[in-house]
Amino acid sequence: MRYPDITKMNNVPSPGTKNNNEPLAWARDIRSNAWHDPVPLQPEPPPLPPLGKSLKFMAALLALAGICFFGDRPDVRSFSLVFVSIVLEAIPFMLVGACVGGLIEVFVSRERLATHLPRRPWAMICLAAALGIVFPVCECAVVPVVRRLTGKGLPLAAAVAYLLGGPIVNPIVAVSTMLAYNMDWWVAAIRLLCGYAIAVFVALAMGRLFARRPALLMSPGMCEHAQDNQEAAAREIGRSCCGHGAQFVPAGLIGKLAGAFRHASDDFLAVAHYLVIGAAVAALAQTLVDRRLFLELTALPMVPSLLMMGLAILLNLCSEADAFIAASFRGLLSLPAQMAFMLTGPMFDLKLLLMYRTVFTRRAIIALAGLILLAVLVVVAALETLGMGMS
Amino acid sequence: MKLMRALFYRYWRPLLLGAWTYALAGLLLGRAYLDFLRPEFVVLLVLGLLVLLAFIFSAINARPQPFDIHQATRVLILILPLACLCVARGTTLDANAFQRRWTGMAGINGRSMPLQDAATDGRTRDASGSDEDVSLLYLSRWPKGYAERTIAVVGMLRRDPKIAAQFGTNTCVLFRFVMSCCAADAMPAAILVNGIPADWPESAWVRASGRFTLRNESNRPIPVLNAAQAEQVSKPQQPYLYWKNTW
């Protein structure tokens, strides 16, 4: 199913059209950070074939049956303990993030958002990457917020900058990193600075790579109502990320709050199952992988950093707690390898990979993942070169 | 049956959110969340519970959503943690988890970890234990303050073949997990202990008392408790230790 071409229905200029009277024209002219067009213009990915859907359903059913039938086995209990821990730790943040997203959806218009953002793209990116200092969020909460902000027309590059920078460049992470490293502010400073630099670099690169290609996605699972009311979606475009928000939001504060919660619950249900899948894989890794094995593969240069990046992707830890795990490798691995762990996890792990599917197209996710891993590797190599050996 | 189906099609979202709300309320009322999270998380869980209640009310009043195989898969996936919750209640990270997560004595008190005088740190006693009980967290992190003192400590037992090969078959590891946020990020705090009967099982809870010493191995102080007395005890009310300063 495709959305209607709203540029014809609603007189919205198509990308690249010069129109200085348009309030957002300034932003459209910025090649690397073009305001993306309202979401329904993005081509919807083809629906999964029935076989794929059935397989997913069967896999979920089998997993549920496995838990029920083998629940008394010690390894299944260990898996369940870690799995539930990750989910319970993340769920409150995700719920709050969804609520913030819902409130943004109902109370913040595109125009208002545009007036509050810097006009220069690099300034916007630099500001967005550091927004975590004012609005500290972990990586689970930031996804629903960014999803709504992009729906409001936040440029891709700024969205990526906040998405990657927010979970690292924030005071809570700074304090937890210092505590994990015996109040060593230097480690925390390196982490925050490197995280900020990576967020800015990846944001700039994504903005340039996807200046003319769609990178933001509205999948059918995220916005079910739009499927059965395309005309309303087209009419209300610009007021809502999924093109139907105003139809669902009655007037008055109570009505608007109800609408915000409706959007928030939609967001939560759309993103939460990705968190659950990611948490399940992480719990499996924690139940099966012996961390001392990593230490036996550390003789070659850069291998420890690569292994720690892999570990960060597998473990799916919260950015506010991962410094304690990294610190447990002190004396065994170099600081750059520990830094590789602390920089990769908050930007790219299994649950985030799945959650990004609710925000970005597949091509954009591949590019994003590649850029993050490349940037982390470059930073780690630079730290190694600077002579930061064993911490 | 038809009515049930119609009701489910109409209210599957509130039902799913209701199941989550019920689970969260049960965790909070029975304090079972302590099996998974550190105590301070209660505030966040209560907040999450309130948000879920608001979601339920908004979902009841919302227009019905189609329920196809995609939604059914999503529901199954979201039920999975609730099923695991039933399985995992009352479970604690044990010797198997210790084996997976332990990075060796160097990871605990290696050269990068400055050994401080715990006695001057004001954190010498385990809040949950008796006067003479010392927390394994402080013993493993600030062992100098306890060197050559008689102490008692409670922890789980682990017989590690590498430890036995290096320090003797009579030596095993006494550990507890230290939680930063949740059980997924818990790391073991461990010391070596001598004098534990060989037939005591892995993961048994043990209270051992005796002289605490620091053994020098490759210029690294390794904390060792020479147990004069040891007894198996029941699982403590709070099996995990917590970083006090992280919150």
CATH number of the domain bearing residue B131:
2.40.50.140
Q: Which pLDDT score is estimated for A152?
A: 79
Q: Does A310 touch chain B (CB under 8 A)?
A: no
Which residue range forms the structural domain that includes residue B150? 95-246
Q: Which pLDDT score is estimated for A45?
A: 53
Q: End of a domain among B27, B61, B88? A: B88
Number of other residues whose CB lies within 10 A of the CB of residue B198: 8
| Predicted confidence (pLDDT) per residue in B198-218, tens digit | 889 988 999 999 999 888 877
Task: Kindly state the average pLDDT of the residues A202-226.
Answer: 71
Q: What is the number of alpha carbons within 13 Å of residue B204 lying toward its C-beta?
A: 16
Q: Are residues B77 and B122 in the same domain?
A: no
Of A361, A342, A352, nearest to A316 (Cα)? Answer: A352
DSSP, collapsed to helix, strand or coil, labels residue A385 as helix
Q: End of a domain among B53, B72, B88? A: B88
Q: How far is CA A243 from CA A8, A48, A58, A260, B134, in A?
A: 15, 23, 33, 14, 61
Predicted interface score ipTM higher than 0.90: no
Residue partners of A97: CB distance under 8 A and separation at least 6: A137, A140, A141, A142, A143, A144, A145
Distance between CA A362 and CA A217 in Å, rounded? Answer: 9
CA distance A160 to chain B (A): 27
Q: Are residues B227 and B195 in the same domain?
A: yes
CA distance B176 to chain A (A): 15
CB-nearest to B77 from A60, A289, A291 is: A60
Q: Which pLDDT score is estimated for A221?
A: 39
Check B72 against A57: CB less than 8 A apart: yes
Q: Are residues B49 and B160 in the same domain?
A: no
Q: Which pLDDT score is estimated for A93?
A: 83
Q: Are residues B107 and B209 in the same domain?
A: yes
A361 phi and psi, to 5 degrees? -70, 165
Chain A hits for B113, Cβ within 8 Å: 182, 330-331
Q: Does A78 touch chain B (CB under 8 A)?
A: yes
Chain A hits for B183, Cβ within 8 Å: 81-82, 85
**How many distinct structural domains can be found in chain B?**
2
CA distance A310 to chain B (A): 16
Q: Are residues B117 and B238 in the same domain?
A: yes
Q: End of a domain among B50, B66, B88? A: B88
Distance between CA B23 and CA B39 in Å, rounded? Answer: 17
Task: Kindly state the average pLDDT of the residues A200-222.
Answer: 78
CA distance A207 to chain B (A): 32
Q: Does A99 touch chain B (CB under 8 A)?
A: yes
Task: Kindly state the average pLDDT of the residues A279-303.
Answer: 78
Q: Does A75 touch chain B (CB under 8 A)?
A: yes
Task: Look at residue A31 and tell me whether its pLDDT is greater than 50.
Answer: no
Q: Which pLDDT score is estimated for A14?
A: 42
Report residue B194 CA to chain centroid gap: 24
CA distance B86 to chain A (A): 9
Q: Which pLDDT score is estimated for A282?
A: 81
**Which sequence spans correspond to the domains of chain A?**
73-385
Q: Are residues B112 and B9 in the same domain?
A: no
Q: Are residues B144 and B172 in the same domain?
A: yes
Q: Does A221 touch chain B (CB under 8 A)?
A: yes
Q: Are residues B130 and B237 in the same domain?
A: yes
Check A324 against B243: CB less than 8 A apart: yes
* Extended strands (E) in chain B: 149-158, 171-179, 187-194, 205-217, 220-232, 241-242
Q: Are residues B64 and B179 in the same domain?
A: no
Q: Which two tokens stand for residue A265?
A: 């619950």
The residue among A174 and A48 whose pLDDT is bigger is A174
Q: Does B166 touch chain A (CB under 8 A)?
A: no
CB-nearest to A88 from B37, B74, B86 is: B37
Q: Which of residues 254-283 of A touch B (CB under 8 A)?
A: 258, 261-262, 264-265, 268-269, 272-273, 276-277, 279-280, 282-283
Q: Are residues B222 and B107 in the same domain?
A: yes
Chain B hits for A291, Cβ within 8 Å: 100-103
Q: Are residues B34 and B107 in the same domain?
A: no
Task: Kindly state the average pLDDT of the residues A121-150.
Answer: 84
Q: Which of A12-21, B43-52, B73-82 has the weakest average pLDDT?
A: A12-21
Distance between CA B11 and CA A261 in Å, rounded? Answer: 17
Residue of A58, A64, A78, A85 for testing the chain B interface, max B β-carbons within 10 Å: A85
Q: Are residues B49 and B24 in the same domain?
A: yes
Q: Which pLDDT score is estimated for B195?
A: 86
Residue of A88, A176, A308, A316 for testing the chain B interface, max B β-carbons within 10 Å: A88
Q: State the sign of the Cα–Cα–Cα–Cα dihedral B207, B211, B212, B218.
A: negative
Task: Kindly state the average pLDDT of the residues B132-147.
Answer: 79
Which chain B residue's Cα is nearest to A329?
B107
The residue among A366 and B71 whose pLDDT is bigger is A366
